[in-house]
Structure 1
Amino acid sequence: MLIRSEAPADILTIDTLLKAVFPTDAEAKLVMALRENGNRTLSLVACNDEGEVVGYAFFSPVTVNGVDTNWQGLAPLAVRDDYQNQGIALTLLEEAKSVLADFDYPVIVAVGDPEYYEKAGFKKAVDHQLTATLPDTENTFMVYEVLPESVAQYQGKVEYCNEFNSL
């Protein structure tokens, strides 16, 4: 399994992957809009031995109480159905943590299954006095500290890029 940065030649394959993995095309449209509007911090693909893209992780900036903190939101995280339950998403996350640390991005936030994200070292955001402006995320909003002592610096509302408002 090769994990690498997204290349322009991957865009259509990623679009197809997102449309196949999620029940609607909302995530695919979200990624396209974020890319077009310059709100991509990091996007990684996982490729199988034949070079096919089978996994994807996308990171975009978030703010805390309207302040640019260099924190990053993970969305979406996707793995092709026939490659799920093989640790690919966790491998994508580990690579992302390393790359984001190298560029001094201190925190990752994500919305998803708490049990799954806890396996990757994420903690419940509410335990750190953090909430998301996205609806219905009280129990699924998670936070990961890339750089030590970073989460405690901020509490309050975490807001994703405007493109998320169309979800």
Structure 2
Amino acid sequence: MDTSTDYTTHAEAIVELFASTFTASEGAEEGALIGALARRLIAETPTQDLRVVTAWEEGTLLGGIFFTRLTYEGDPRTVFMMAPVAVATAHQGKGIGQRLIAHGLDALRKEGVDIVVTYGDPAFYGRVGFETVSEADLPAPQPLNQPQGWIARSLTDAPLTPLGGPTHCVTAFDDPALW
């Protein structure tokens, strides 16, 4: 498995991966929503606020992850959100997602990012070091439909401590339907 951070060359393949993976797991409506989100993230997010990590094998896209900047007005730490994450349906259950996450987190750590948050299954993401956080300690940019899925991981030796809001996400995520 090879990883890449070149998302502009492969934008359409990445969008299709997210649309098809979420359609297979969550239905056509969710697939369309996440496919459109992937397209907007690539097209509209400034490069300093976006990281995309993809996994390839012999020219086939196996998986991908978006990392986007979260800004906490009252806090100097650098925070990125990891979402969405997708592994092609035919390649799930092989550890590709965990390897992609580890690779992405390592790259962000090397950049000096302090904290990564995500909104997902605590049992799955707990395997790669994420822990549940409260919205009081780490405010979300939109109201959460499932607050138990708001989880974070420190990329430094410092423990997770409360972040001062208000919080702002990239434009593509500023939609209550995604939260």
- Short-chain TM bin: 0.7 to 0.9
Cross-structure match for 1:31: 38
For 2:55, the aligned partner's letter is A
1:138, CA displacement in angstroms?
1.1
For 2:39, the aligned partner's letter is M
The count of corresponding residues between Structure 1 and Structure 2 is 166
Stretches of structure 1 that go unaligned for 5 or more consecutive residues are none
Cross-structure match for 1:137: 146
TM-score normalised by length of structure 1: 0.87
Secondary structure, counterpart of 2:156 in structure 1: coil
Cross-structure match for 1:148: 157
**CA distance in 2 between partners of 1:53 and 1:117 (Å):** 22
Moved over 6 A (4+): none
Cross-structure match for 2:131: 123
Identical counterparts, % of pairs: 21
**CA distance in 2 between partners of 1:68 and 1:16 (Å):** 36
Cross-structure match for 1:11: 11
Match of 2:169 among 153, 160, 166: 160
Cross-structure match for 2:90: 82
Does structure 1 retain, via aligned residues, the 8 Å contact 2:14–2:38?
A: no
For 1:12, the aligned partner's letter is E
1:5, CA displacement in angstroms?
1.1
Does structure 1 retain, via aligned residues, the 8 Å contact 2:75–2:164?
A: no
**CA distance in 1 between partners of 2:96 and 2:78 (Å):** 26
1:7, CA displacement in angstroms?
3.7
Cross-structure match for 1:43: 52
Does structure 2 retain, via aligned residues, the 8 Å contact 1:131–1:138?
A: no
Secondary structure, counterpart of 2:134 in structure 1: helix
1:10, CA displacement in angstroms?
1.1
